[in-house]
Amino acid sequence: MLTMLRTAGRLVLSHGPLLVAIYLAGSLLQYVAIEAFGFVGAYSAVVGALLFPLVIVVRLVALVTMLLVLRSGLRTLGVIAPLPDEPAARRRAFTDALLGSILVFVAFYAAWGYLRDDANAYYSRVLEINTGLIANESILGLESGGDGAAGELSFSPLTVGIIVAAFVLRWAYGRYKGRLSKSVVVLAVYLEALWVVWSALLLSQAFDAVGSWVDSRQAMVWLADLRNWLAAQVAPVAWIWDAVEWLLGEAGGILLLPLAWLTVAGVIFGQAVAPPPARLKGALVDRARSGFGRLPAWTRRRSADLWGQVVGRFRPIVQAIVLMWRAGPALIGGYVLLFTLVLALDALLGIALTRLVGPQSFAEFWLPYSTIVFSIPALLIEPLRLMVVAAAYDRVVGRLSAPALAEV
C-alpha cells in the first residue's frame, strides 16, 4: 500500500493540474452536448436519441485521455509496455483503448446510475424545449416544427432494428478495417457506443419493470410482514436482518465501486499489457472442440469470426479481473482502503466548502452559484481518484512482473 501511495503522490505532483484541466474540459463538453442534443431531440426524437450516445463518448474520451496521460508516469507499466514514440502509433493506442473500453465503461456507468442521470438531464432538456415550442404554438400561433415526442427510449421495431444495424456495421468494421480508411474508426466508435448505450437503456427499463413486478407480488408483502413480526417478537433477529441489509447495501460502495474502477482502468491499460489467457479444460469442452473441428471449413471460419467479435468485447474485462485475482487480497484490500479514503475526502471537502462559504442568501448566492460551488469537490477528487486507480494498476502489474520491478 505504501508503494501505491507513493506512486499516487508522484502522479499528483507531475500530472495533477493537467488531469484537472482534462476533467473540467470533459465535464463542460458533456454539458454542452446534452444542451445541444436535447435541443435537436425536441424537434426530432429519433435524431436526438441517435446523438445521445455521443454524450457518453465525450465522458469516455476524457477518461481514456486521463488514463493514457497517467500511463507516462507509471514506472512499472512503462517498463513492461513502453509508450509508442510515433504519433500514428499513439493515435492507434488511443482509438484501441476507446473502442475496447466502451462496453465495460457503459456497463459501469449504467450500474452506478450515471447513465440514467445523463439520460434524465437529456430528457429534461428535450421537455424544456418542447414546452417552449408548445407555448409558442398555442399562444402565438407559431409552427413549432417539432414532432412532440419527448418520451424515453422504448422497445420498438425501430429501436431494435437500429441496435442490430449498428452492431452489424461495427462487426463489419472489425472484419474489414484493414481495407478501410483510418478515419472510419470515428464511425466505428460511434456505432459501438450507439448499440451499447441503447441496449443499456432498454435493459435498464426492463430491469425496472421486472423489479416493480417483483415488488408488487404478494410474496414481498409476506416478507415485509415477516420482518415486522420478527421485530415485534424477537428484536435481536430484526437487528441482524437490518445489519445484513445495511451490509449488502454498503458493499457496493465499499468493494464493488473501487473494483469496477480498477476493471475499467485494466481494460484501457490492458490494450498494452494483459495476463496469459485462461484456457478452459474438461471433457465437455474437449467434445465441443472436437465437434467444432468436424464442421465445414467455411462454417468454422465464419463462426470463429463472429464468436471472436462477440467474445473480444469481454476478453479485456476477463483479463482485468484475472490480474486483480492474481495480485492477491492484501494488495487489492489496500487499494480498496485507499479508494475509500479518497471518497471520505470528497465528503469532507464538501463540508469544508460550505463552512468556508458560510451563511449566504439563497436567492442571491446559492441559486446562481451552487452548481459551481458543489462542482469544486468533484473537480479535485475525481482526478485524484483516477490517480489512485492508476497507481493500483501499476502495483498490480508490478506484483505479477518481478523482473520489471527490478529494473524500475
Cα→Cα distances 223→215, 226, 238, 239, Å? 11, 5, 13, 16
Distance (Å, whole) CA 63 – CA 76: 21
**CA 206 to CA 332: how far, in whole Å?**
34
pLDDT at 288: 58
Tens digits of pLDDT across the chain (408 residues): 778 888 888 888 889 899 999 999 999 999 999 999 988 888 888 888 899 999 999 999 999 999 888 888 888 877 777 777 788 888 888 888 888 888 888 888 888 888 888 999 998 888 888 887 777 777 766 665 555 555 567 778 888 899 999 988 988 888 788 788 888 888 999 999 999 998 988 888 787 777 666 666 666 666 666 666 666 666 666 667 666 666 666 666 677 788 888 888 888 887 544 444 445 455 655 665 566 566 666 565 555 555 555 555 556 666 667 767 767 778 888 888 888 888 888 888 888 888 888 787 777 777 777 778 778 888 889 999 999 998 888 888 877 655 444 444
DSSP letter, residue 184: G
Name the residue among 354, 384, 402, 56 with its Cα closest to residue 197.
56
Give DSSP secondary structure letters for 151-162. Answer: PPP---HHHHHH
What does the alpha-carbon distance between residue 125 and residue 39 come to, in Å, rounded to a whole number?
A: 7
Q: Is 321 helix (H, G, I), strand (E, B) or coil?
A: helix
Q: How many Å is the Cα radius of gyration of the chain?
A: 25
User: 94, 64 in Cβ contact below 8 A?
Assistant: yes
Q: What is the pLDDT of residue 72?
A: 83
**Structural domain spans, the chain:** 1-153+217-273+328-402
Q: What is the pLDDT of residue 407?
A: 43
What is the value of pTM for the model shown? 0.76
Predicted confidence at residue 373, as pLDDT, reads 79
- The answer to whether 55 and 118 have CB atoms below 8 angstroms apart is yes
Tracing cell 454542452 back to the chain, one arrives at: 32
CB-based contact 125:34 (threshold 8 Å): yes
pLDDT at position 405, please? 43
What pLDDT does 36 receive?
A: 93
CA distance 392 to 16: 17
Q: What is the DSSP string of 259-283?
A: HHHHHHHHHHHTTT--PPPP---SH
Helix pair 2-43, 53-71: axis angle to 10 deg: 160
